[in-house]
Amino acid sequence: AGPRRDTLAMASSREREPALVNCLMLVRWPQRREMVQAAVASFVAQDHPNRTLTVVNDGAPCALSAAFFGCGVGGRVLQMPSPATLGEKRNAGVAAVPEAAYSASFDDDDVSLPERLSANLRAMRSRRPPAAFLSASRKYIAIGAIDNIVGFELGRCYGAGMVAADVTDALRWPSQDCFEDHSLYEAVVSHAELRSRVAEADELLYVHRRHA
């Protein structure tokens, strides 16, 4: 027996160019309300044309505005019971768009340059074999926030900036509220078929803002 028809259709959709990138934004509305608005605006400004925003919310109900959809981009809000861990929210966001070739962290406390997605895709696809896990552990911090920074890179801590469907088909984020990306990284480098497909981003493509 051959592959199921829906599996074939999913594989075909993932191979389309430009690749569909599912951007995951994890929120607990209305916390960080102003930051969320800025992060969504920087998603809209991305120069990669085939992208969608998945907002995973375990707070009060919220919705993407008509102005957002008027910009010609796709998106959705996925409501989850509260409290949900960051790992659970990432897994739910990936599952909501199974046709995506890549999933990218697009956190509610980040402001991204317009080329963030396209530059990360080039970095992954220029490797042979193409990278399946791109770490985004290097961050540019707004100078005004320096006094309030809690260091992100604790030893060798990796954040999942962008991951290919090969990773999310094989592995899941653990149910953690801290360092869940690093735990996924450790699972990737322990995986027989994925361990050689890890890369680290070396461009400063977004601002991570310290929050309470």
Q: Which run of H or of E encompasses 78?
A: strand 74-79
pLDDT over 70 (residue 97): yes
> Is pLDDT at 45 greater than 60 in this prediction?
yes
Determine the Cα–Cα distance for residues 51 and 106; give it in Å rounded to an integer.
12
Packed helices 86-95 and 180-189: angle between N→C axes, nearest 10 degrees:
60
Locate all alpha helices (DSSP H) within 15-65, ordered by sequence: 33-44
CA gap 155, 131 in Å, rounded = 23
Please check the confidence at residue 192 and state whether its pLDDT lies above 80.
Answer: yes
3-state secondary structure of 17: coil
| Res 200: pLDDT | 87
Whether 38 has a pLDDT exceeding 70, the answer reads: yes
What is the rounded average pLDDT for all residues in the chain?
Answer: 86
Nearest to 139, CA basis, from 206, 61, 60, 44: 206
Contact 97, 54 (CB under 8 A): yes
More confident residue, 124 or 137: 124
What share of the chain in percent tops pLDDT 90?
70
Whether the CB-CB separation of 151 and 174 falls below 8 Å is answered with: no
Separation CA 57–CA 26 (nearest Å): 6
